[in-house]
């Protein structure tokens, strides 16, 4: 089966994050960090982008992996997913401490599949923005 966005929207796992919703959350996230005065805020921002890309890479590769390759990669995938979640939480705390909008983190929620989807959308946004 070839994956499509339409198939994603109808996925039985639920917790779907649409492109429109992901863009809205991303814009709030970027705006909040932009307003922060923390000197090394871009280090935290870039770390989050890097962690999103690392997780996205494994998820992209997942489609073409054999069951054995998936089993071997599964723990590393979970570790990269956790690292991305941690990076999001750090950005949210930074924004919150500086009085910037961090509501995007609540809007994104805590569902792991949804957060993983958001990592893929971040990679999409940064990928097409860096042409």
The C-alpha atoms of residue 125 and residue 77 are separated, in whole angstroms, by: 21
Q: Identify which of 66, 70, 51 has the alpha carbon closest to the alpha carbon of residue 116.
A: 51
The C-alpha atoms of residue 87 and residue 8 are separated, in whole angstroms, by: 25
Q: What percent of the chain has pLDDT over 90?
A: 85
Exposed, middle or buried by CB within 10 Å (0-12, 13-18, 19+), for 33?
buried
Task: Report pLDDT for 2.
Answer: 85
- The answer to whether 55 and 119 are in contact (CB under 8 A) is yes
Task: Provide the pLDDT confidence category of residue 131 given band limits of 50, 70 and 90.
Answer: confident
Whole-structure pTM value? 0.93
Is pLDDT of 64 > 80? yes
């Amino acid at each position: 089966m070839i994956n499509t966005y339409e198939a994603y929207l109808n996925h039985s796992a639920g917790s779907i994050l649409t492109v429109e919703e992901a863009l809205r959350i991303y814009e709030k996230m970027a705006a909040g960090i932009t307003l922060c005065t923390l000197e090394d805020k871009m280090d935290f921002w870039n770390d989050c982008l890097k962690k999103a890309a690392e997780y996205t890479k494994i998820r992209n590769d997942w489609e073409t992996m054999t069951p054995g390759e998936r089993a071997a990669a599964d723990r590393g995938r979970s570790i990269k997913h956790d690292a991305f979640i941690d990076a999001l939480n750090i950005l949210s705390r930074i924004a919150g401490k500086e009085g910037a909008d961090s509501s995007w983190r609540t809007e994104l929620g805590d569902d792991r599949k949804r957060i993983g989807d958001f990592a893929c959308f971040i990679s999409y946004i940064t990928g097409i923005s860096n042409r």
